[in-house]
Amino acid sequence: MSTDSTVEADSRYEVAAEVLDGIFGPSWRDKQKKTGFKAVDDFQRIAVEHCYTDVWSRDVLDHKTRSVACLSILATLGTYDEFKLHVEAALANGWSHEEVMEIVLLLIPYIGVPKSIKALRVAGETFQELFTRDAEAKKS
């Protein structure tokens, strides 16, 4: 779905939600609960709308390509909470566990060993959490 700045304000969140549903399924909504603080709730909404309506919904790059770019950028910046989220997105967008790890290995000469080690650890922890969550869901 391609979008531009003419998307109606009321539908911006719905466009973003459609993109996020396609990547994460409805589970992402659990992380977007209202806090009761207008500024915090507005921040969450604006961030979701900007990232997923203005950028991720564009049709020039597919979601798989956007995922690898995000992994690289977030590891470079050292923003590992967001990196973890995008490891999950990368898997949902078609990257394998091995490919995600290869992306992290590729970063070593560019961002350095310490950040790459942290990214490797976060990716491994994310894989384990997803495996555990999937195993528990199958038991239910």
Question: In angstroms, how far is CA 138 from the centroid of its own chain?
Answer: 24
Q: Residue 134: what pLDDT?
A: 87
C-alpha to C-alpha distances, 134 to 19, 38, 84, 91, 128, nearest whole angstrom = 22, 35, 17, 13, 10
Binned at pLDDT 50, 70 and 90, residue 3 comes out as very low
130 burial type by CB count under 10 A (0-12 exposed, 13-18 middle, 19+ buried) = middle
Interval 88-130: pLDDT, tens: 999 999 999 999 999 999 999 999 999 999 999 999 999 999 9
CATH architecture of 61-140: Up-down Bundle (1.20)
For residues 62 and 33, which has the higher predicted lDDT (pLDDT)? 62
Whether this prediction's pTM lies above 0.85 is answered by no
Q: In angstroms, rounded to a whole number, what is the distance separating the alpha carbons of residues 76 and 10?
A: 35
Query: Where do the CATH 1.20.1290.10 domains begin and end in the chain?
Result: 61-140
For residues 94 and 81, give the distance between their C-alpha atoms in angstroms, rounded to a whole number: 21
pLDDT digits (tens, 9 = 90+) for 35-84: 889 999 999 999 999 999 999 999 999 999 999 999 999 999 999 999 99
| pLDDT level of residue 8 (50, 70, 90 thresholds) | low
